[in-house]
């Protein structure tokens, strides 16, 4: 029985680790500016329109996303959803593009429909938008 006890401990520890929530290796909360653009064919290979709830992520974040390679169409960030909040308003949008014009890695460029859920498009730019992946 003494021999089985350490094995049982090791087995139960491994089993617990296998069923635990995965360790989050990627930051969960970002802050940046938000703008909007007129979408078309994006870096992820999707063609979208201004009335869809979509977003282009800053090139720094897009290019450094875990698993990103030379072909942006296969970047694992493509198709992920983000939830962004500003001024008590929230929008959930799908990543479909890379924002080459974004100054900050955590900046976002929304479709007009998505941006309008955070602020009136006439403001043009929102500073300090908090967002994370959902």
Query: pLDDT digit string (tens) for 2-29?
Result: 445 554 444 454 444 444 444 445 557 9
Fold of 28-133: Barwin-like endoglucanases (2.40.40)
Answer for the pair 112, 39: CB distance below 8 angstroms, yes or no: no
**Rounded CA separation 24/104 (Å):** 23
Three state DSSP letters for 51-89? CCCEEEEEHHHHHHCCCCCCCHHHCCCCCCEEEEEECCE
Separation of CA 94 from chain center: 8
Q: Which of 23-27, 52-56, 105-109 has the lowest mean pLDDT?
A: 23-27
**Rounded CA separation 98/104 (Å):** 12
What's the half-sphere exposure (Cβ side, CA atoms, 13 Å) at 57?
A: 29
Q: What is the CA radius of gyration of the chain?
A: 20
Residues 6+ apart with CB under 8 A from 63: 98
Ramachandran sector of residue 88 (left: φ over 0; alpha: ψ -120 to 50; beta: rest) = left
Give the residue extent of every domain in the chain: 28-133
pLDDT in tens, 118-133: 999 999 999 999 999 9
Mean pLDDT, residues 86-107 taken together: 97
pLDDT at 34 over 80: yes
**Rounded CA separation 73/71 (Å):** 5
């Amino acid at each position: 029985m003494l021999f089985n006890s350490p094995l049982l401990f090791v087995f139960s520890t491994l089993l617990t680790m296998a069923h635990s929530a995965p360790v989050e290796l990627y930051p969960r909360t970002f802050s940046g500016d938000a703008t909007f653009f007129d979408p078309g064919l994006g870096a992820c290979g999707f063609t979208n329109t201004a009335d869809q709830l979509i977003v282009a992520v800053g090139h720094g974040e897009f290019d450094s996303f875990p698993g990103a390679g030379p072909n942006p169409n296969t970047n694992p960030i493509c198709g992920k959803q983000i939830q962004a909040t500003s001024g008590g308003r929230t929008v959930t949008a799908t990543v479909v593009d890379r924002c080459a014009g974004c100054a900050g890695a955590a900046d976002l460029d929304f479709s007009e429909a998505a941006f309008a859920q955070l602020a009136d498009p006439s403001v043009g730019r929102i500073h300090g938008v908090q967002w994370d992946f959902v």
